[in-house]
Amino acid sequence: MKSEKLCQQVEEQIIKSYQSLYRLAYTYVRNPDDAMDIVQESVCRAIRSASGVNSAAAIGSWLRRIVVNTALDMLRKQKREVSADDLTETGQEEYYQDQDILRALDVLDLRERAVVVLRFFEDRKLQEIAEILDENLSTVKTILYRSLKKLKTEISGRRISS
């Protein structure tokens, strides 16, 4: 019975946070179709393994971890299939207003980008980010500090050269 109730809560949380999960996926792939594929694959994974959720309080973080891991899997797969020279930026959706910030995120590696996106785009607490990324809280703080320093340098450099 408890497992059945948790499965229902997982489904409710998926419906409630679908747009947020899409935005999270989009920040990784910056392509609306790929972001939708990531969310759909993540939802399938979540529903298949919903009985393994420990508590209702952990469902949100658990779903975001699935989306992050699915996005990273897709990026690794795409990297193997297509050389970096062949990548184009066609079909990108203007989802966030400040495109300079999104372009600046390109200077970050995937872990750094995940921390910044979860903290500032998804407004997650540092402890929740640590749970989503399966990292220590102090590691997340270090990654965030380093990432913000990189972003500041990147954005300042762009303004000077513009």
60-109, pLDDT tens digit by residue? Answer: 889 999 999 999 888 887 766 544 444 344 334 444 445 667 777 888 88
Question: Would you say 81 and 113 are in contact if contact means Cβ atoms under 8 Å apart?
Answer: no
Average predicted confidence (pLDDT) for the chain: 81
Higher pLDDT, residue 115 or 80? 115
pLDDT at 123: 83
* Mean pLDDT (whole number) for 123-133: 89
Tens of pLDDT, residues 45-58: 998 888 778 788 88
DSSP 26: H
CA 72 to chain centre: 9
CB atoms within 10 A of CB 10: 22
pLDDT at 19: 92
Could you give the angle at the alpha carbon of 61 between the alpha carbons of 56 and 63, nearest 5°?
Answer: 90
For residue 148, pLDDT over 80 is answered with yes
pLDDT at 159: 55
pLDDT at 98: 55
pLDDT at 73: 86
Q: What percent of the chain has pLDDT over 90?
A: 29
pLDDT at 107: 87
pLDDT at 80: 62
Distance CA 7, CA 4 (A): 5
In a 10 Å sphere around its CB, with 0-12 CB exposed, 13-18 middle and 19+ buried, how is residue 162 labelled?
Answer: exposed
pTM of the complete model = 0.68
Structural domains of the chain, with CATH: 1-90 (1.10.1740.10), 96-162 (1.10.10.10)
Question: Would you say 47 and 8 are in contact if contact means Cβ atoms under 8 Å apart?
Answer: no
pLDDT at 100: 65
